[in-house]
Amino acid sequence: MKTVAFIGLGNMGIPMTRNLVEAGFEVIGYDLSAAALETAVGHGVKRAVSAAEAAAAADVVISMLPTGEHVRNAYLGPSGLIETSRPGTLLMDSSTISSTVTVELAAAARAAGRRMIDAPVSGGTPRARSGTLTFMVGGDASDVDDAQPLLEAMGQRIFHVGVSGAGHTTKLCNNVLSGICMAGTAEALALGVANGLDPAILSEVMRNSSGSNYALERYHPFPGLMDGVPSANNFAGGFRSDFQLKDMRLAKELANSSRVFSAMGNLACELFALHCSNGHAAEDYSSIIKLAMDLDQYFAGHPVSGGESK
């Protein structure tokens, strides 16, 4: 487990490979973008000319790609990772995709004599950098055990959540719930503010009551009430609204195909779709508060005092 092929060197792949290199792994990277690959080489990743070349040289293959289609093509397409990796190789997909794709790929991998786990992450770029990601891992226990040193090089909390696909399912469950809670928190704040409440006091009370949730506690959507979160920085950084939308669409598809009631999730998904259409796709998902209330109007009436940068 010393040599790792890493396919997909984006905002997440770059810091993840840096942590792997620092932990002593040999990492062979590939990305369609030459610039991305160059950056990775800068912190010690070895350059491959193709995903296939990387896979052929590795004990473990990790993929971190944008969509299920990218993942399927990477594994099953011509010169795909299943075909080009060595027999017995451990394949690990950390993308956020539908578990139906995962299950299909894991079966194909097994049929070809490879092993596959799904290990999506939560925590975003900041925790990718600090090596404190949370991993939700699906697959056979022995494969998850084998991956443990790698997972620990990149993350802080490793949950083995079930069989193949369970990692991706867990991720979708969490993200649909976080979208619901964030959209609901935005509405509750809008309701209070429109009726004269101070959002800071309202938040303090709800944080100590049954309305408490991650948005109020650690990721507040109302500008000026919490430091170090996207709402403190014009909703830059964090988790883009269109990525949130992508995950909620996957969750909606999964709920629909498994015939699970998902009225709240469906609605939150459509609200994020409208929010993205309104021009906020690149802003952090907590910016959904703009759908529930007009922040500009609010701050026109409640100017932020002088010296503070908010």
The nearer residue to a second copy, 4 or 250, going by C-beta atoms, is 250
Hey, what are 292's tokens? 């529930």
Query: Hey, which residues between 168 and 207 contact a second copy (CB under 8 A)?
Result: 169-170, 172-178, 180-181, 183-185, 187-192, 194-198, 201-202, 204-206
**C-alpha separations of 21 from 29, 137, 154 in Å:** 11, 22, 10
**C-alpha separations of 61 from 82, 210, 258 in Å:** 10, 44, 30
In the complex, least distance from residue 47 CB atom to a second copy, rounded to whole angstroms: 34
Q: How many positions of this chain bind a second copy (CB under 8 A)?
A: 80
Q: Rounded distance, CA 163 to CA 43, Å?
A: 34
Is residue 134 a contact residue for a second copy (CB under 8 A)? yes
The nearer residue to a second copy, 184 or 224, going by C-beta atoms, is 184
Is residue 257 a contact residue for a second copy (CB under 8 A)? yes
Q: Rounded distance, CA 40 to CA 245, Å?
A: 29
Reply yes or no on whether 171 is catalytic. Answer: yes
The residue from 46, 171, 252, 310 that is catalytic is: 171
Contact 84, 56 (CB under 8 A): yes
In the complex, least distance from residue 180 CB atom to a second copy, rounded to whole angstroms: 3
Specify the DSSP element, H or E, that contains 122. Answer: strand 121-122
Select the residue interacting with a second copy from 51, 52, 117, 291 (CB under 8 A): 291
Hey, what are 83's tokens? 């075909």
The nearer residue to a second copy, 64 or 158, going by C-beta atoms, is 158
Select the residue interacting with a second copy from 23, 153, 273, 281 (CB under 8 A): 273
Query: Hey, which residues between 71 and 130 contact a second copy (CB under 8 A)?
Result: 99, 122
**C-alpha separations of 7 from 44, 136, 230, 304 in Å:** 15, 19, 28, 45
The nearer residue to a second copy, 40 or 188, going by C-beta atoms, is 188
**Nearest C-alpha neighbor of 8 from the set 33, 26, 39:** 33
Query: Hey, which residues between 48 and 77 contact a second copy (CB under 8 A)?
Result: none
Is residue 148 a contact residue for a second copy (CB under 8 A)? no
Specify the DSSP element, H or E, that contains 192. Answer: helix 166-194
Query: Hey, which residues between 212 and 241 contact a second copy (CB under 8 A)?
Result: 212-214, 217, 219
**C-alpha separations of 36 from 43, 232, 287 in Å:** 12, 29, 28
In the complex, least distance from residue 57 CB atom to a second copy, rounded to whole angstroms: 33
In the complex, least distance from residue 268 CB atom to a second copy, rounded to whole angstroms: 7
Q: Which residues are catalytic?
A: 171
